[in-house]
Amino acid sequence: MINPPKFLIPGVVIFIITIIIIAKSSVTIGYGEAGVLFKTFGGGVEIDNTLDEGFNVIAPWNNVTIYNVKQQELLEKGMEVLSSNGLAIKLDASVLYQPKFEKLGLLHKTRGKNYLENVITPAVRSATRSVVGRYTPEQLYSSKRDAIQDEIFEETRKILEPQYVQLNAILVRDVTLPAAIKDAIERKLRQEQESLEYEFRLTKASKEAQKQIIEAQGKADANRILSASLTDKILQDKGIDATLQLAASPNAKVVIVGGKDGLPIILGNN
């Protein structure tokens, strides 16, 4: 058996140690991520310097905690809240959030990796209960959905602002009411729609009647003006003109001049 030269053994050991030191002295942070450095011998979490994506060199005795700093979504399904009149309502919402890059060290030191469960979820649920409690089931189901969504966002944002988390949006996806309440609201909405449609038909009929009255009034005024302008002299002149036109016609006829009111009387076939 051939033994390796004694000088090779220390070289192999040094090589292995070097590889370990290099591996411990570098960290690669991926796309959309950031790192928080913990200095074992230098004061713990470094809150003033967030490590950006890419290759970073650190002391081998320190370590880095990596966070996802892209926009993320929390889907809250079936949050049970009470309306203003005490009815239980279930609400589904999407929460769009991300940690603040420049405050990542503070987030890590004060809230930790579980900040979603420890900070965001309780804030969203608290704000939702507070906002929904101001409205009736009918408002939640129909007319006030957008206003409620905006109010939940604002109240949640105020809670998260000092927690080193950026809230981008809250989207209310669904509001589930008790079946009996939902049916009653839908019946009321249908009745209101039918009432609006009936009022529209009445308004339309009234406008049409006014239009016909105006047209009839216009025709009556025109006839009065025409009647006032037709004097006996004008009628006689028009009768004479008509007589002359008939006289020129090839059809057989008898024209008696000197009829009633001085107008000609026409007898015969056309």
Considering only CA atoms, which of 6, 14, 56, 11 is closest in space to residue 35? 56
- The fold of 72-177 is Tetrahydropterin Synthase; Chain A (3.30.479)
pLDDT digits (tens, 9 = 90+) for 86-129: 888 888 999 999 999 999 999 999 999 999 999 999 999 999 99
Name the more confident of 10 and 83: 83
Contact (Cβ atoms closer than 8 angstroms) between residue 232 and residue 247: no
Q: Higher model confidence: residue 187 or residue 172? A: 172
Amino acid residing at 174: D
What pLDDT, in 10s, does the model give residues 28-70? 888 999 999 998 887 888 888 889 888 888 888 888 999 999 9
